[in-house]
A and B are shown apart, each in its own frame.
Chain A
Amino acid sequence: MGNQGLSTFTPIQIVNAHLQSRDFQDSFPSFRESAQDYFTKSGFPTSKTEAWRFTNISPILKTKFEYHHHQEENKDQIPAPTYADKCLKIDILNGRVAGKSLDHLSFETEGILLNIISEDITDTKTVLSSLVSSDGNPTAFTALNMALFSQVIHLHIPDNHIVSKPILLNIFSQSSENPVSSNIRIHITGGKHSQFTIIETYSGNGKTYFNNSVIDINLDSDAKLEYYKIQNESDTSYHISNTVINQGKSSIMNANILSFSGKLIRNDIQVDLNGEGAELNLFGLTLGQSQDHIDNTVLVNHRKPHCMSNQLFKNILDHKSHGVFSGLITVYEDAQKTDARQKNQNLLLSETASVNSNPQLEINADDVRCSHGSTTGQLDDEAIFYLRSRGISYEDARKMLISGFAHEIVNGIGYTPIKDSLNIFLDNYLT
């Protein structure tokens, strides 16, 4: 791959260097300007920043990464999930689409508009103007992404279009000598009455790397999206993702955030219910082990009446792993007849595993139904004894109870191949 001469920079060094270089200001100018604004005003969060109280990012800020701004030749096949051949697949290697493996025709046949916008396209301004909206309120890592991404993947599902196959974003990180940092940027727009499935999987070659992804999803009225984020990162990797979802009138989003491994994972998920009658089902399952740190920070904004949101996040934490759930539901004045639920349940399998849970509600309308809650516990000895008293071994009893804890999430997964692979993950996790 000829990476000998590649220099490495910490995130702070690269931000400073890039924002000042003319080349970068010329590409994706509106994004670079916003990033510059952000970093001159704010900067990276510290341990005192409220939203980052439980997640320490200093290991990321201290690491010198390589940044691949141009497509490298990939000779090897990028590993993909077993169900990949049933999907419309986009391989993304170190933050950029692996063009060779991309079958444009299959997307065209399905009627999907797939647009890969790179910095060498001159007319980026017009192409991107429609996409900038959700970056009105950048965070440090969306700003970092805005400063550094070199490609935008834009998927558009036209009105009334039902896509028969799931769209698989197969994101793979491959560090060689130095840790690689990737800034992935994906925009997805679902037209009126469109129906589609997105599977976003993350994995890597086992070394240290840093994924900083921004996923922007817009659902027009009556659109329906099944969305899966599957994080199976190497256990020395860093992963920060910002997923911003904007739901129109009567749109339905069923989302599953499945986090299986990663040294540090932070998922910021923001859903804006911007049209009447929009419905969100957002489920999460974390299987923490060794020293994994997995943080789900979820903002759900009910901005219009008659919307429904249902959140369930379950963390299973073993060894020295650490889980975080921060959730805030905000019900705006207009949002009468809101039905909002949020539940976080944690199962600690060892004395050294820990969790911080902070579900919150802010209600500014009077005719609403809202609930939130959080529980943390260990395996129930009485239940283990009950199973053992029926001949089931301690090990199997433990597995049955842990699977039982995860069952609600596993069972809710609509796409069978993912349900099957989750069961395999769970099996491996339990042995």
Chain B
Amino acid sequence: MIKIKNLKVRVEDKEILKGLNLEVKPGELHVIMGPNGAGKSTLANVLSGKSGYDIIDGDVNFSGKDLLDMTPEARACEGLFMSFQYPIAIPGVNNMYFLKASVNAIQKYRNEPEIDAIDFLKMIRSKLKEVDLDEKFIKRPVNEGFSGGEKKRNEILQMITLKPTLSILDETDSGLDIDALKIVSQGINNFRNSERSFILITHYQRMLDYLEPDFIHVLIDGKIVKTGDKSLAQDLEDKGYSWVRETMGSN
């Protein structure tokens, strides 16, 4: 699905990613944990094509193509999706209009027919239920005046509507209340299948109770320094990152 090799990224003369390697196969769910400022969002942003990053080395292969060579929109059309850590509000742009434009841009890229308004509305209504968002949210401007949790649910609504093959979820669990966490996790579980892969960035163990992660990676100082199974998340929760740093030192 995606293969990241020796990725080195600089932001304003500061090296943030320092030779990062990661491979995600179809159907796998990988979790990235790591301290604040380690470079997790930088990785997500670079993968989705945000500008302002200097890629000084490495390459990324996404479904057989050179990901770093594509525009952000081409990446999305090829099946990559990022749920933003801080989704931005877009005044004046209606959420439903935006989502429909998005679906149809991807349809067009794939030489498939546009979805008409009635079918779209039907589809969106059922998706809204999955993330427990009221219909009024798609009639409002994108994310404008949405609460933190509502924004995150709106991101997941977009994910299950656009049906990406690789979803990068940057702290989607932050800001969700206890019930919403459960609903969103169920939404992700329903969406999972043997073709769809996930990179989930999180600080907490709690969402992992609902999902079945295949791997947990620890990202510190621009590199993945430790990889393990689900139990690693629990160890991190108990012992903190200093524990990882110590074991690194002893290596």
Interface residues of A (CB under 8 A from B): 380-383, 385-394, 396, 400-401, 403-408
A390 touching B92, Cβ below 8 Å? no
**Cα-based distance from A400 to B101 in the complex (angstroms):** 10
User: B35 interface residue, CB < 8 Å from A?
Assistant: no
A380 cross-chain contacts in B, Cβ below 8 A: 88
Query: Contacts A388-B76, A400-B101; is A382 near B48 (CB within 8 Å)?
Result: no
Partner of B49, one of A383, A388, A405: A388
B162 touching A408, Cβ below 8 Å? no
A389 touching B101, Cβ below 8 Å? no
**Cα-based distance from A386 to B98 in the complex (angstroms):** 11
B90 touching A386, Cβ below 8 Å? yes
Query: B residues 69-106 with Cβ under 8 Å of A?
Result: 71-73, 75-77, 81-82, 84, 87-88, 90-93, 98-99, 101-102, 105-106
B101 touching A404, Cβ below 8 Å? no
Ordered by A's residue number, 20 sampled pairs between the chains whose C-beta atoms are within 8 Å are: A383-B90, A386-B84, A386-B88, A388-B76, A389-B75, A390-B76, A390-B105, A390-B162, A391-B76, A391-B105, A391-B106, A391-B162, A392-B98, A392-B102, A394-B71, A400-B101, A401-B93, A404-B92, A404-B93, A407-B92
**Cα-based distance from A310 to B82 in the complex (angstroms):** 40
**Cα-based distance from A10 to B29 in the complex (angstroms):** 77
B90 cross-chain contacts in A, Cβ below 8 A: 383, 386-387, 400-401, 404
User: B148 interface residue, CB < 8 Å from A?
Assistant: no
**Chain B: minimal CB distance from A285 (Å):** 12
**Chain B: minimal CB distance from A423 (Å):** 13
Not counting A383-B88, A385-B49, a sample of 20 additional A-B residue pairs whose C-beta atoms are within 8 angstroms of each other reads A380-B88, A383-B90, A385-B50, A386-B84, A386-B87, A386-B90, A388-B49, A389-B75, A389-B81, A392-B73, A392-B101, A392-B102, A394-B73, A401-B92, A403-B93, A404-B92, A404-B141, A405-B92, A407-B93, A408-B92
**Cα-based distance from A325 to B165 in the complex (angstroms):** 49
**Cα-based distance from A387 to B103 in the complex (angstroms):** 12
- Interface residue count for B (Cβ, 8 Å)? 30
Q: Which secondary structure dominates chain A's binding surface?
A: helix
> In this complex, what residue of A is CB-closest to B91?
A404
User: B191 interface residue, CB < 8 Å from A?
Assistant: no
**Chain A: minimal CB distance from B101 (Å):** 6
Query: Contacts A383-B90, A386-B84, A400-B93; is A391 near B73 (CB within 8 Å)?
Result: yes
Query: Contacts A388-B49, A388-B76, A389-B49; is A382 near B101 (CB within 8 Å)?
Result: no
B72 touching A385, Cβ below 8 Å? yes
A389 touching B82, Cβ below 8 Å? yes
**Cα-based distance from A408 to B91 in the complex (angstroms):** 9
A389 cross-chain contacts in B, Cβ below 8 A: 48-50, 72-73, 75-76, 81-82
**Chain A: minimal CB distance from B11 (Å):** 15
A405 cross-chain contacts in B, Cβ below 8 A: 91-92
**Cα-based distance from A388 to B109 in the complex (angstroms):** 13
**Cα-based distance from A250 to B120 in the complex (angstroms):** 45
**Cα-based distance from A394 to B93 in the complex (angstroms):** 15
**Chain B: minimal CB distance from A395 (Å):** 10
A404 cross-chain contacts in B, Cβ below 8 A: 90-93, 141
**Cα-based distance from A209 to B92 in the complex (angstroms):** 36
**Chain A: minimal CB distance from B224 (Å):** 23
